[in-house]
Structure 1
Amino acid sequence: MRIAMWSGPRNLSTAMMYAFAARGDCAVWDEPFYAAYLAATGIDHPMREAIIAAHEADPVRVAAACAGPNPEGKPLFYQKHMTLHMIPGFDRGFMRVCANVFLIRHPARVVASYARKRENPSLPDIGFVQQAELFDEVAGWLGHAPPVIDSADIRDNPHAALSGLCAALGIPFTEAMLRWPEGPKPFDGVWASHWYGAVHRSTGFEDPEGALPDLPDDARRLVDQALPYYERLASFRL
């Protein structure tokens, strides 16, 4: 089985990748289209040139690998995708041979976290619009909503949330998904040194989050733009 997990940045996505890798029966791929996205758009991200140099930047080859044999012959292949990377012109056909799941997080938390790593994010940077579009596309061909999981639910009760997700995917849950070794992982993208500091210090999912962060006016306006997309997908969450 190929599992395509679609989220925006700063969305518990790396921790989820670590959880699936910890199963032992699952290969993982960290943001397959990141280099292709940077090369195609010319957008300036931290470590841009290093990312393009270190990772496959041809979207056709990336898509073929996403639809290809599972690495290492493992039964499961978890692909951590950023919704903003799936720009117009990139072939989405590989998605039809994947179980597509949508990982969401309240935009106030996303904006607060993202702004600490890259200044002045815009709506396209945080991926909510693209996530809703991909969700609608998948729902259209399935004839029903694909699985949606909220990072808040995962942090509130990781065992229950991941058990529910595994049930929705038709795979067994294992307690191994709740813990992983501290530090960098061999499957991390080259960008990990900039973005993954907190998750590298972790050995499992963090405790539930408190109240939503207090944000300046410009950040609140961005949250207001993203909120309808988040709320619509949240209505389908497991």
Structure 2
Amino acid sequence: MWSGPRNLSTAMMYAFAARGDCAAWDEPFYAAYLKATGIDHPMRDEIIRAHDADPESVAAACRGPSPGGEPFFYQKHMTVHMIEGIDRSFMRDCVNVFLIRHPARVVASYAQKREGPTLADIGFVQQAALFDEVADWLGRAPTVIDSHEIRANPEASLKALCAAIEVPFTDRMLSWPAGPKPFDGVWASHWYNAVHASTGFGAPEGPLPDLPEDYRRLIDQAMPYYERMLRESGRDPAAGDR
């Protein structure tokens, strides 16, 4: 599952892990990304110490098998982590799905945890590039899902997703126990407060947030990528999350 940050990505990971037949891996390349770029993120040093920062060994593990021999292996990937120099060939051994969210919601949520996000931080450009790469070697468009639709109707959305990736749906995906999970990355204490308080997907989202002018410019930069991916999901951008 490929998304930018603050895209409902952790809740989706929890939903798949709740199946009982699916291992989960939280942002496999995060430590490697931080080590290679030197970028300053919350808990940077702790993340690098606690997680595998060698992209080659991470990629090898992404090919499977799942850690406990489970039939399914859910990997929550951030598009921003796939920087130049990381071998992406492992993706050919995976079913790649793209999770999108309206830029205004992403920016509003991200800025609460890390101020001053840039276009590079929120992953829309990288997501479109990865989508194109997968589509080229598949010969067709991979699956795209919008977090807005998941929040609006979790059961219908997850049923459609499971059908698209040929995984049987179970209603166990609709809820999970509150609190931290054993497969959370060490960064969970900074980023996952809201989802740790949850036991399922939240209610349908309300109106888009009203943000300061500098953030509105960032949203304008990201919108063409979001709208393009929305079209790839089979939905008209004019009828999308507004």
- 1:236 deviates by 1.7
Question: Does residue 1:237 correspond to 2:233, yes or no?
Answer: yes
Question: Does residue 1:26 correspond to 2:22, yes or no?
Answer: yes
- 1:91 deviates by 0.4
Question: Does residue 1:192 correspond to 2:188, yes or no?
Answer: yes
Question: Does residue 1:202 correspond to 2:192, yes or no?
Answer: no
Task: Kindly report the root-mean-square deviation, in angstroms, between the aligned alpha carbons of the 2 structures.
Answer: 0.6
- 1:68 deviates by 2.7
One of 79, 82, 86 as aligned partner of 2:78? 82
One of 36, 42, 50 as aligned partner of 2:38? 42
Question: Does residue 1:119 correspond to 2:84, yes or no?
Answer: no
Local SS of the residue matching 1:35:
helix
Alignment: residue pair count:
234
Local SS of the residue matching 1:78:
strand
Q: Which amino acid aligns with 1:204?
A: G
Match of 2:124 in 1: 128
Unpaired segments ≥5 residues, structure 2: 235-242
Distance of 1:127 and 1:171 partners within structure 2: 27
1:100-126: per-residue Cα shift (whole Å, max 9, x none)? 000000000000000000000000000
1:173-196: per-residue Cα shift (whole Å, max 9, x none)? 000000000000000000000000
Distance of 2:197 and 2:227 partners within structure 1: 31
Question: Does residue 1:143 correspond to 2:139, yes or no?
Answer: yes
Distance of 1:76 and 1:236 partners within structure 2: 25
Distance of 2:196 and 2:136 partners within structure 1: 37
Give the percent of matched residue pairs that are identical in Structure 1 and Structure 2. Answer: 76
Distance of 1:235 and 1:105 partners within structure 2: 13
Distance of 1:97 and 1:205 partners within structure 2: 29
Q: Which amino acid aligns with 2:20?
A: G
Match of 2:238 in 1: none
Match of 1:96 in 2: 92
- 1:159 deviates by 0.3
One of 68, 75, 90 as aligned partner of 1:72? 68
- 1:70 deviates by 1.5
In the TM superposition, 1:210-225 aligns within 5 A as 210-225=206-221
Unpaired segments ≥5 residues, structure 1: none
